[in-house]
Amino acid sequence: MIQVDALNKHFGSIHAVKDVSLEIPTGQIFGLLGPNGAGKSTSISIMTGLIDCDSGSVALNGLNPQSKQARFKIGLIPQSIALYEELSAVDNLSFFASLYDIPKNKMSERMDWALEFVGLSDRANDRVSQFSGGMKRRLNLAASLLHDPDYIFMDEPTAGVDPQSRNKLFENVLKLKELGKTVIYTTHYMEEAQKLCDKVGIIDHGQLLALGTVDELLKQYGGDTKVSISSEQGVQHFESGDVSQDLLEALKKSNKVYDISMHRPDLETVFLNLTGRQLRD
């Protein structure tokens, strides 16, 4: 379990993380959503022990993320392609594996597994500079899994990725969950969160605005379903919290119905309702 308690972090006058508290049970995929500059990466950086917080605490099964013991359990997939472009995939993996005291006889086994996991076994000896953006993203993930971490922090792992590679990454994330890993996934692509995450937190201006399962958030922040009925009397629009009841009532009053359309709230609606529609640059 990951326990985050009243985290605060300032960068000069900017209050980047404000009193963030949450709990992520082991084996879940947790989505941390927020617009650009909301505080997602800073929160991840604190949770992985990359930077110190000003106040509050993080515990990974009771361990301080900056402790050596915890570091063996953390896998970080940074937002940038954190690889050496001039080295081959194998050279990259070999270097990162060497940082984790992996026994020599297990190292090649782990590297083979990681390459196979992300579908890059046949490109193992090619230089990263020759890879497509999607391949680099997948290798970026592989490099973080060599030491078989329990907590996997993925900071916007699908940025600039083609649909095929994105789909492969989704498969990887779900597979990691199957393997019992806890995944913390930051993104601003709502469909990804809706598809993958067991639990979601929405953060903006450093504050955690909402926390719960997708259904809970939809119910709480999504608003009513938008219904449109086209009939002889014309087009009728209404919003409904109880669609089956309200639709039945509306149909009783309509002659010769041509079309019915419904727009159920999704996570994007929730997100925009919570964070507003103002542009973030």
Partner 1 sequence: MNKMLALMKKDFKLLFRDKMAVFFTFVFPLVFAFIFGSIFSGDGGGSKALKVAVVDLDQTEQSKAFVEQISEADEFTVTLSTEEKAKDLVRRGKRVAYFILPQGFGEDYKGVFAGSPPEVLVGIDPSRKAEAGYLEGSLMKLGINRFEQAFSDPTAMTEQLDASIAQIQESDDIPDEWKSLLNDYLPKMKELTAQEIGNGEGFGFGGEDGAENPMMPLKVTKQEEVVKRSGPQNAFAITIPQGVIWAIMGCVIGFAISIVQEKTLGTMNRLIVAPISRTQIVAGKALGCFVAQIAVVTLLFVVAYFVLGVRFNLPKLILAAVASGICFVGLMMFFASLAKTERSVAGITNAFLLMMGMVGGAMIPLFVMPGWMQAISNFSPVKWAIVAFEGAVWRDFSYGEMMTPVLILIAIGVVAFILGTRMVKLEQA
* Residues at the contact surface with partner 1, assessed by CB under 8 A: 45, 48-51, 68, 71-72, 74, 76, 78-84, 86-87, 91, 95-96, 98-101, 143-144
In the bound state with partner 1, the residue whose beta carbon lies nearer, of 82 and 260, is 82
In the bound state with partner 1, the residue whose beta carbon lies nearer, of 78 and 206, is 78
- The sheet with strand 29-33 has its strands ordered as 55-60, 2-11, 14-24, 207-212, 199-204, 29-33, 182-187, 151-155, 74-77
Give how far the C-alpha of residue 118 lies from the chain's centroid of Cα atoms, to the nearest Å.
Answer: 18
Output the six-digit token pair for 109.
């086994």
In the bound state with partner 1, the residue whose beta carbon lies nearer, of 83 and 118, is 83
CA within 13 Å, CB half, 106: 9
The CB-of-207 to partner 1 minimum distance in angstroms stands at 23
Output the six-digit token pair for 18.
């404000």
In the bound state with partner 1, the residue whose beta carbon lies nearer, of 91 and 266, is 91
Alpha carbon distance 181, 153 (integer Å): 10
Output the six-digit token pair for 158.
């699908």
Alpha carbon distance 213, 177 (integer Å): 16
Alpha carbon distance 7, 22 (integer Å): 10
In the bound state with partner 1, the residue whose beta carbon lies nearer, of 117 and 153, is 153
The CB-of-17 to partner 1 minimum distance in angstroms stands at 15
In the bound state with partner 1, the residue whose beta carbon lies nearer, of 117 and 221, is 117
Alpha carbon distance 39, 161 (integer Å): 23
